[in-house]
Amino acid sequence: MSRVWNFYAGPAMLPEQAIVQAKEELTDWLGTGMSVMEISHRSKEYDALHHEAMSLVSELLGLDDDHHVLFLQGGASLQFAMVPYNFIPKGGSADYINTGAWSTKAIKEAKIIAAAREAGTSEPDNFTRIPAFSELDFDPNAAYVHLTSNNTIRGTQWHEFPSTGGVPLVADMSSDFLWRPFDANRFSLIYAGAQKNVGPAGVTIVIVRKSWVETANDDIPTLLQYATHVKKDSLFNTPPCFAVYMVRNVLRWIKDNGGLTAMEARNRKKADRLYGVIDAHPDFYRCPVEKGSRSMMNVVFRLPSEELEATFVEEAKANGMVGLKGHRSVGGCRASIYNAMEPEGVETLAQFMEAFARANG
């Protein structure tokens, strides 16, 4: 196999173990003579896979009995609408913390459906940091507080979550779900499009507090109600079977490799290596993010000129490292180093960055 080091932000690199298993089982899954894409979602084989994937999420996070795992479609973007549809009551309002493009989109959707206010923002600082807890101003009557745990485009990340004083906490964890252990039971709802850290595009993992779902609005279309999916274990309609299968393979890989504690150690080491190179070359590389807000998943950095950035991306590609161009809305460079990125890939990039600075600085 000829694989590159893939630094794309999403869809992103998957663990080789997960891909190889899929390749081996593609034409004949579990002796059925079919692939997982061709078999009924009501078959006992699919049912077992579906529930194994759910149980693995619960087990890795230590979820309590009131938290339910869902596999939905429509991406994280549909969650921007489903959350307010379900949980903002008539005449009510929700609080949002605005830390970049994805939060801004979530706020826009909430405002189409109901009322939403900003309980904090780092927009005046160009989203280069996460607001301090002391800057947050929560409405005690808000239906919920929404935050984006990792800002994929800006390269910022919440390292601790604020206390909301009893108001339900909701998080978009699309780009850092399962990167480390955390108290998921504190959250009333978590959603994550799988294609960054947990699998391929096509499935969105949602964790929701069942007792909260019981209070949700029920005058909205059936498929948009969380209650529908909780009741039917995400088998109300055809689930994205192949995407769920790949997520299961990735979850097994996480478990086989020591679970979330091991993921955190591995991820911190990788991020430290890259930020170390950036900080050691202050005249050449610059990370626009405030130190305490740096993301362990998406390392963004600038070079002295846009021309050098273009050359950097090009030469990296020639050396087997792809996906290093920053998001088109902000420019610069970005190395996405999710769970699946091997330390060896990061080491290869770090050495390339050192050599590039020496040659062009």
In angstroms, what is the minimal distance from the CB of 137 to ligand PLP? 23
Determine which one of 5, 29, 102, 212 is catalytic: 102
> Has 231 been annotated as catalytic?
no
In angstroms, what is the minimal distance from the CB of 211 to ligand PLP? 26
CA distance 335 to 320: 14
In angstroms, what is the minimal distance from the CB of 305 to ligand PLP? 28
In the bound state with ligand PLP, the residue whose beta carbon lies nearer, of 76 and 353, is: 76
For the chain, give the number of residues. Answer: 361
| Residue whose tokens read 């252990």 | 181
Phi and psi at residue 350, to the nearest 5°: -60, -45
In the bound state with ligand PLP, the residue whose beta carbon lies nearer, of 79 and 277, is: 79
Residues 6+ apart with CB under 8 A from 282: none
Tokens found for residue 223: 């498929």
In angstroms, what is the minimal distance from the CB of 300 to ligand PLP? 13
Determine which one of 29, 158, 179, 196 is catalytic: 196
Q: What is the dihedral of CA 104, 106, 112, 114, to 10 degrees?
A: -110
Residue closest to ligand PLP when measured from CB atoms? 75
In angstroms, what is the minimal distance from the CB of 139 to ligand PLP? 23
In the bound state with ligand PLP, the residue whose beta carbon lies nearer, of 102 and 285, is: 102
> Has 196 been annotated as catalytic?
yes
In angstroms, what is the minimal distance from the CB of 198 to ligand PLP? 11
Tokens found for residue 97: 């913390």
In the bound state with ligand PLP, the residue whose beta carbon lies nearer, of 102 and 356, is: 102
> Has 212 been annotated as catalytic?
no
Interface ranges with ligand PLP (CB under 6 A): 10, 75-77, 102, 148, 152, 172, 174-175, 193, 196
In the bound state with ligand PLP, the residue whose beta carbon lies nearer, of 162 and 193, is: 193
In the bound state with ligand PLP, the residue whose beta carbon lies nearer, of 196 and 334, is: 196
Determine which one of 29, 95, 158, 172 is catalytic: 172
- Residue in 78, 92, 145 with CA at minimum distance from that of residue 118: 145
Active site residues: 102, 172, 196
